[in-house]
């Protein structure tokens, strides 16, 4: 898969069928932290510990980390302080139809949709 340029991610990492064994078995590029660990950040200390552990584990395996379900600035601040690589969630943008997404990407030039939404919301990523 990598030879033809495909990237492989585990979505909803830490829940359901996302086994640690997959980290060895598949040629992964990215882990997406499930939103259930992000929802109560930074108040829930267990979620903070789990999120930090996932980020550290992923980076030690040279994987990119994406936090899904980021809705508040305090969540973003904690994730950034712990070196999470990418973020997605309502803080940046609501889900968009493909035509609207294309417009936003075009307006933002070479920046990503998250960059456009962050700029629009006065955030600096």
Identify the pLDDT of residue 123.
45
pLDDT confidence band for 19 (50 / 70 / 90): confident
As beta bridge partners, residue 122 has none
Residue 107 has pLDDT above 80, yes or no: no
Chain centroid, CA 69 distance in Å:
8
- Pair (7, 32) in one structural domain: yes
31 and 49 in a single domain? The answer is yes
Q: Cβ contacts of residue 69 below 8 Å, gap of 6+?
A: 34, 35, 36, 38, 39, 88, 89
Q: Do both 28 and 13 map to the same domain?
A: yes
Q: Verify that 59 and 113 share a domain, yes or no.
A: no
Q: Write the pLDDT tens digit of every residue in 20-79.
A: 888 999 899 999 999 999 999 999 999 999 999 999 999 999 999 999 999 999 999 999
- Which domain range does residue 109 map to? 96-125
The pLDDT assigned to 76 comes to 97
């Amino acid at each position: 898969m990598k030879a033809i340029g495909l990237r492989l991610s585990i979505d909803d990492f830490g829940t359901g069928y996302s086994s640690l064994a997959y980290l060895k078995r598949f040629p992964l590029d990215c882990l997406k932290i499930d939103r259930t660990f992000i929802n109560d950040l930074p108040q829930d200390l267990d979620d903070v510990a789990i999120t930090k552990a996932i980020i550290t584990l992923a980076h030690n395996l040279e994987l990119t980390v994406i936090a899904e379900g980021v809705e508040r600035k305090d969540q973003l601040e904690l994730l950034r302080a712990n070196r999470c690589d990418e973020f997605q969630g309502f803080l940046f943008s609501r889900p968009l139809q493909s035509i609207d997404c294309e417009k936003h990407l075009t307006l933002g030039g070479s920046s990503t949709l998250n960059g456009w939404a962050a700029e629009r919301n006065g955030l600096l990523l």
